[in-house]
Structure 1
């Protein structure tokens, strides 16, 4: 049922597909949903909490808690392949996969961002931030289209 809850900042994907829902624990009649914000101070967390609570109540679950955990921190590697594909289909270049031992390299990430429209690697970053803090603006020199890139975290 939580797979139906949309990410309020990117409504084409779900909070489970984004990897925000870390666990669902059921003990007798109590349900605990464990979530991790995509980044510290994410403004969508209140709306995500409210949407989870609404979905649980719609399914006659009244005894529940929603617990936010910050450790381990969320990473774009937790996104499902389906979510990555949905981002690409909607014109948002999905993030590269990042292995734990590569996290420090993110500070100087020089990987090529492929255009989600035409597949060209002839792209350039035009702004560090897009419509949300987790996305950057890019431009494709191949098809002359602007697009957003979901930054690796």
Structure 2
């Protein structure tokens, strides 16, 4: 089986020696459409900006979209799956959606632009891999955890000791908020 790749978290065309009906151009067009799917919780952001879109791969007759969920069991996953399928269907393609357990999603996958939007438009902080979490309201680094359970499974609730505001924090399954 020959494999062509545009790099990690991109598009691959797999050929099994059969006559290929899905072209690299088709695959790139589908990937572009899927990458523009908006997150149901943050309509200003795409699933690509949030690091949920992992790969778009194809063999001779089918296309599969691999997604990395922020948290397994997230109630938005079915909406994201439907929206991904609809985006491909608008181009005349049917896709299978697969939610991957590996790699594990971490906040590091969120683009810098998306982190800025989350902080400024939604007052949501991001847990950094190293260092202390920064308050999106005042920029302080004195967040105190109030609850592991936030309004969604991927966020926890903190209190900023400096500006005295509640802050939601996107958390990693790997690292606690500091």
After TM superposition, the score normalised by the length of structure 1 is: 0.79
1:67 aligns with 2:98: yes
1:85/1:94 contact within 8 Å kept: no
Note if 1:82 corresponds to 2:113.
yes
Measured on the aligned residues, the alpha-carbon RMSD in Å equals: 2.0
Number of residues of Structure 1 aligned to a counterpart in Structure 2: 140
Distance in 1, Cα, partners of 2:52 & 2:136: 24
CA displacement at 1:78 relative to structure 2: 1.8
Is residue 129 of structure 1 aligned with residue 129 of structure 2?
A: no
1:103 alignment counterpart = none
Shift, 1:28, TM fit? 5.0
Q: Within the alignment, does 1:138 sit opposite 2:133 as a pair?
A: no
**Cα distance in 2 for residues equivalent to 1:148 and 1:63:** 37
Counterpart in the other structure of 2:5: none
Which residue of structure 1 lines up, in the alignment, with residue 13 of structure 2?
Answer: none
Task: Give structure 2 stretches of 5+ with no counterpart.
Answer: 1-32, 174-178
Deviations 1:9-68 (A, max 9, x none): 33332211111111012445632211122222222111110010111122x233322222
Contact 1:93 1:147 in 2 (8 A): yes
Where 1:46 maps in the other structure, the secondary structure is helix
How many Å apart are 1:120 and its aligned residue?
1.3
| TM-score, length-scaled by structure 2 | 0.69
